Amino acid sequence: METISIIGGGIAGLALAACLDSARFDVTVYEKRPALPAVGNALGMWPNAQRALARLGILAEARAVSPVIGTGSVRNAQGEPWVSVSAGQMFAISRVDLLRLLDGAVPGTVRRITTNVRSLPADGSLVVGADGVHSTVRREVWGAATRARLTPYLALRGTLPAPVSPGDVGEYWGRGDLFGMAAARGGSFWYASYRSGLGPYGIDAGSVLEQARERYAAHAPAIRRTLAAATPEACLVQRLWTVPNPGSYVRGRTVLIGDAAHAMLPTLGRGACESLVDAAALADLLNTLPEHQALRAYDRQRWLRTRVLSLASSALGRVALAEGAQPFRDRLLNLGRRRNGRAAVVSGSAG
Ligand SMILES: Cc1cc2nc3c(=O)[nH]c(=O)nc-3n(C[C@H](O)[C@H](O)[C@H](O)COP(=O)(O)OP(=O)(O)OC[C@H]3O[C@@H](n4cnc5c(N)ncnc54)[C@H](O)[C@@H]3O)c2cc1C
């Protein structure tokens, strides 16, 4: 049997392990986390990710535990809608549920090793870097120039047991900050992002929550209510990082998938979706083609699309988090609203 070592058992690594042909491949997943995480925020599943979940045989279960996103608005900081976005059949799955379902889809024949991989396995296997934004595999094989880049932004996210009012769902763009809220399983989830010099590691959620309450004190009442109800225990905080273009996702017999290949700003909500698609695409190619052809085809299928999405996420991030250009951005968006007499309606369900 051909051997495959998957470094990282997150969304991308587990999805790949679940899709590989167990009659053909001897697969080992190396994951440093001893258990699945117990807290995590909601991830919007775009149609391409839903197709990948269907390929994995877990779409129905994923839908059953996830509310549909429905319609939300992009608004100014005071909550006045500029654009109304219909998310079609997109749903928001909790990261905890997604990882649990992926984990359950991995066949028992896959070997699981709990370890923090510091150097690549030298057993002649095909090595898959599914080890996230700070990928050891990328650093070892592609070199230090592809080290993750720290962005100036911080992301604070949380869940609440109370549902969000449908009239408040959406994203609020202020001066150098954004805030979002939507339905989640058992209540609602929210996120905030703005420039911050904190960190980059070990940031205290309680202090950031206090900072956010001050920062958003003059924003829409729905934001203030959400932050007042939020607790540090139900919050995650981190600085945001991105991965520079490594040129190709394949080098010899090493291949990158998920955030290890293309960690991007979360503004489009595509990172986890594209990680699932990477995994399904790579598995289907490896299952049917000789290895070198499969790797070349994977790079062709996935590199350009994910680079474009990465650039688009950064561009949208600059607009949503605009600081100096915020008055100009708001004037333009207000103009669009005045012309229509109401918020423009956009369908966000393509792709
Ligand atoms: C604030 C925020 C909001 C987001 N919102 C969305 C959204 O709405 N929709 C969406 O699609 N995406 C979203 N994303 C992106 C999404 O979280 C990532 O794209 C996704 O988690 C990538 O999955 P992955 O498996 O590639 O990497 P990860 O989830 O990072 O998993 C990597 C795994 O590898 C393990 N690992 C790392 N190094 C080693 C090592 N040396 N040895 C062994 N194991 C190792 C880690 O423990 C981890 O389990 C968001 C991201 C952020 C930061």
pLDDT tens per residue, range 30-84: 999 999 988 888 999 999 999 999 999 999 999 999 999 888 999 999 999 999 9
Q: Are 11 and 102 in contact (CB under 8 A)?
A: yes
Cβ contacts of 121 within 8 Å, gap of 6 or more: 5, 28, 30, 127
Quote the mean pLDDT of the chain: 94
pLDDT of 311 above 80: yes
How far is the centre of ligand 1, averaged over its atoms, from the C-alpha of 79 (Å)? 31
Q: How far is the CA of 216 from the centre of ligand 1 (A)?
A: 28
294-303, long-range: CB < 8 A, 24+ apart: 295/250, 295/253, 295/255, 296/250, 298/249, 298/250, 298/255, 299/248, 299/249, 299/250, 302/249, 302/261, 302/274, 302/277, 302/278, 303/248, 303/249
Atom of ligand 1 nearest to the CA of 136: 41
Give residue 99's pLDDT.
98
CB 181 within 8 A of CB 170: yes
> What is the value of pTM for the model shown?
0.96
User: Could you read off the pLDDT of 327-336 as tens digits, one per residue?
Assistant: 999 999 998 7
What is the per-residue pLDDT for 338? 75
Q: Look at 117-126, 142-151, 317-326, 329-338 and tell me which has the smallest mean pLDDT.
A: 329-338
pLDDT above 70 for 155: yes
Distance 329 CA to ligand 1 centre (A): 31
Which domains, and CATH codes, for the chain? 2-347 (3.50.50.60)
Q: Which atom of ligand 1 is nearest to the CA of 155?
A: 1
Tell me if the bond preceding 200 is cis, omega within 30° of 0: yes
The owner of tokens 């934004």 is 133
| pLDDT at position 87 | 83
Could you tell me the two tokens for 4? 């495959």
Burial class (CB in 10 A: 0-12, 13-18, 19+), 119: exposed
9 lines ligand 1 (CB under 6 A): yes
Residue 342 pLDDT: 64
Residue 89 is predicted with a pLDDT of 87
pLDDT tens for each residue of 215-272: 999 999 999 999 999 999 999 999 999 999 999 999 999 999 999 999 999 999 999 9
> Probe ligand 1: pick from 275, 277, 309, 316, max atoms within 8 Å of CB?
275
Beta pairing partners, 190: 158, 181
Label residues 92-118 b or e (16+ Cβ within 10 Å = b).
bbbbbbbbbbbeebbeeebebeeeebe
Q: Are 282 and 330 in contact (CB under 8 A)?
A: no
Verify whether ligand 1 is closer than 6 Å to residue 117 (CB atom): yes
Q: What is the C-alpha to C-alpha distance for residues 310 and 270, in angstroms, rounded to an integer?
A: 9
Cβ proximity of 182 and 171 under 8 Å:
no
For the residues 280-284, what does the mean pLDDT come to? 98
Ligand 1 centroid to residue 49 C-alpha, Å: 15
- Give the model's pLDDT for residue 86: 86
Q: 88 falls in which pLDDT band (50, 70, 90)? A: confident
Cβ atoms of 272 and 186 within 8 Å: the answer is: no
In this predicted structure, the answer to whether residue 349 has a pLDDT above a threshold of 90 is: no
Q: What is the pLDDT of residue 178?
A: 98
Q: Best substitution site from 103, 259, 349 to test ligand 1's pocket, by max atoms within 8 Å of Cβ? A: 259
Summarize the confidence of residues 15-44 as an average pLDDT: 95
* For range 276-283, the mean pLDDT: 98
Q: Residue 346: pLDDT band by 50, 70, 90 thresholds?
A: low
Residue 345 has pLDDT above 70, yes or no: no
CA atoms within 13 A on the CB side of 115: 14
- The number of helix segments (H) and strand segments (E) in the chain equals 11, 16
**Percent of the chain at pLDDT exceeding 90:** 90
Alpha carbon distances (Å) from 350 to 36, 42, 92, 319, 346: 31, 20, 16, 21, 11
Using an 8 Å Cβ cutoff, are 4 and 128 in contact?
yes
User: Are 166 and 185 in contact, with CB atoms under 8 Å apart?
Assistant: no
* 29 within ligand 1 shell (Cβ under 6 A): no
Query: For the CA atoms of 316, 192, 216, 218, what is the dihedral angle to 10 degrees?
Result: 50
Ligand 1: does its nearest atom lie under 6 Å from the Cβ of 67?
Answer: no
Position 341 confidence tier, pLDDT thresholds 50, 70, 90: low
User: Mutate which of 5, 6, 7, 11 to test ligand 1's pocket (most atoms within 8 Å of Cβ)?
Assistant: 11
Distance CA 72, CA 170 (A): 4
